[in-house]
Structure 1
Amino acid sequence: MLQSFSMWQLNDIDNLDDAIVLIRDMAPIVTNVEWDDEPLVAHFNSIDGFDLNVPETIEIGNNNIRYVTFEFYTERSRRPEFWFNAEGNMKPRDERVNTYNSQILLFEHNNSVKSIVFKGTSLAKTILNTCMPEETWGAVEPAEINVSEDLLYWIFRKFIDLRESPLSPNNPLYVTALKSYTGKTRDNVNAMRGRGNRISTILGTLAFLFNNENLKAVRPQLQYNGEVFLVEISLTGTCRIWEEEYQGRWLALDSKRLKNNIAIYTYIVLLPILVESYRDNVNRGVWSPQLKIEFLQRLGNEIKDQVEAELERLQNEANIEDEEINDEEEHLTLFDILEEDDE
């Protein structure tokens, strides 16, 4: 199942136990609105199978990562112009209020507390502003992942040219497939997307890269230390994962815990190694603006070769069809029977 999530850093919370206390002590938030109706509410909810007082533990490398997870329910009013119907009467409350129920995960890593919200970055920020107000929690900011458009192009190049080699000599991380990409045309108007197990070799994707359009996200299948993950990486900070694509040691876990583990692992292992490998390639001179240009030029030649091969194939098919038609006409002429003889 597809799961979107965004990653956050709690700069003023040093350990998970302090965060748990803040959650337990937080009373429901009530916000009055200028209408004769119930106020807006927001509150934490527990998730079946998880105890806020007993953190879960997952082993990653030589570290035991403790985490807690819960849901946060919040109501936000729509703009006042949407409160009334055409007759000027106030609409029912459920038509004036947007509700959000979001899973939030907190874990401790490297002497700091980090958060995963299973929503995209923009919506997650709105939710966190309500459930973790700065006066109580301190600054809650998007994690510094350092994913750039150049890194996304580098992933494409590594898969197309060097898929049998690790992304860096220092890390056994491989791109074993590219399942999707997303981008914008140069006018930043038309969206581009490709999907499929072999999208990196189809003509449309090559043309997209060759024209140097704005690449926004890629979905590589990553293999690391014998485990396989499908992760979509984007410039917005939103990631996507697919539990059913995972292969590794956590397959026996239930769906909820598997999702949590993959998200944490992506946050603190896969993305940092991906960025570190990219920087290593840049520092060693095996990826640079000039090499990117050469890569795109070679893609241009490949596009030309594929177009010429396709045109040749179509021409050959057309020639074969013409020959078959001519043979059929000759055959009918040889065995044509006049109507008066056919009695």
Structure 2
Amino acid sequence: MPVPAANLYPDFNTIRLSHVCLNVKDLAASKTFYTEILGLQITDEDDTRVYLRAMEERGHHCIILQASDQPGTVEVMGFKTFDEDDLDRAKAYFEARGRPTEWVERPYQGKTLLTSDNMGIPLEFYHKMDRLEPIHQKYALYRGVKPLRIDHFNVFSSDVDASVAFYSDFGFRVTEYTEDEESKKLWAAWMHRKGGVHDMAFTNGTGPRMHHVAFWVPTPLNIIDLLDLMATSGFVKNIERGPGRHGISNAFFLYALDPDGHRIEIYCSDYQTVDPDLEPIKWDLKDPQRQTLWGAPAPESWFKHGTTFSGVETKDSQMKATPIVAP
């Protein structure tokens, strides 16, 4: 199935991904992982939540760790709109497509719309979030992998074609994609709003489930430093895949699991995609350089493990095609 044409004039204007709320079992243990190992900065905390931001971010938070009796699930994924009026337009848009909508109160955010996509992934849209002082030049605060900003979400979808069509309609643009040559269906796709390779990506599999949330770092050396830190501070078993360089996106990467099994990607060196007429790059599912430019296949866990969305039922994919999997 062809990649749908980009909708350059959507009903409402999404700027970028913004934040995610992760449900965790042990708030103290998760706090240690995200602050001392990854290096995110605490912006507020109480007995049930820890709010975190990365070093370049002026918004109050990009990650919320929430103590829950359903640990290892995702509560919501958040996106920022261009202006306040986009929120009313978004509400009308999702209602017209039969999706539930409601205005919700969120700490440190202004008017916020809660809805869901075609698979049921809980999405929230806002325009205003509390602004904090810049800390990107406060180098004494840098630790861990030195994350600069949240970069993207990747989710498992039981029907990647349907997911791509849904997000394309409200303005997301495909940068790269994997097509199964036999069925001509999409196996994976990378879509963006902010001018990088992706804000949201879809991978074929039982879904919806979160595959990973990614953070941008300055250089590959930051990832090497993180590996040394994890290997000598009790987190060596949390290292899942990498380091390596993706064929898709050209990004240097590392994948690690947090204490509740949420997959985190540390990521740098992809490319700019600002031009609205940029043609998507197509990859064959069996191309060994698709996963890793250097040819190393991903482990089986990378294709099977994901974290569910709280209260959302999953559905198995009917696609039989498989990528190359490490033995």
TM surpasses 0.5: no
Whose helix proportion is higher, 1 or 2?
1
TM-score, normalised relative to structure 2: 0.31
Q: Which has the larger radius of gyration?
A: 1
